[in-house]
Amino acid sequence: MLVDLFRDELFFPFSDYATDIQHFIGAQRYWLALLRAVPEFVEADWHPVLRAVDVAADQASGLMLRLQDTTNSRLLSLHTNSFEGCTAELLADNPPMTPKQIAEAKEKFEWKPDKAAISGITREHAIREAGMIYVAFTAQAEPAEIYVPDAGHPEGGYLLPARRLVLLSEVSRDCEPQAQEALSRFLKEPARRLDRSAPQT
């Protein structure tokens, strides 16, 4: 298995990707290698999604790769997953409230935060909550859109209907076959090919 080739790396299995950039980089390398090992993946068809990169946000969500294939109207969003990462994301999403946020809650939403909300989630609470919601592997295909720049279009580009696979997975022997199967199945699906000669609205 591909995961065995990474087992001797210092930070394997990269479970602290959310808080340690070395874990994040190692996990990113693993997912790129795994994607390239899927027979149905044609690398020349895929390109990174152009976006403003926020490394801290990518680490918190475990986002490793976001790729698009405009010819075949497909998107891939690959995320690393771990219990440690889930806990770290809960802590990042529920920080202590600032005095300004407390004032805005009272003024705009007529909500008076209690002490727990004001102080933010504790690590112990985050661990308990992660224990209730954490799942090692999920993969879901869903409708999406790709923005296609087009100088001849009145708005400079258009939205192309697409299919997106959102995959979240641990780096592990248990999850690797599931990830490969989900990627293979998604890439085998008939794609809606873009006819560049057709007028776009």
Rounded mean pLDDT of the chain? 90
Give me the pLDDT at residue 195, please: 47
Residues whose CB falls within 8 Å of the CB of residue 179, separated by 6 or more in sequence, listed in order? 34, 137, 139, 167, 169
pTM: 0.82
Give me the pLDDT at residue 192, please: 61
Give me the pLDDT at residue 63, please: 97
Q: Which residues pair with 74 in a beta bridge?
A: 69, 163
* Low-confidence spans in the chain with pLDDT less than 50: 194-201
Residue holding tokens 């859109």? 145
Distances from the Cα of 110 to the Cα of 101, 116, 131, angstroms:
12, 17, 32
Residues whose CB falls within 8 Å of the CB of residue 172, separated by 6 or more in sequence, listed in order? 3, 13, 136
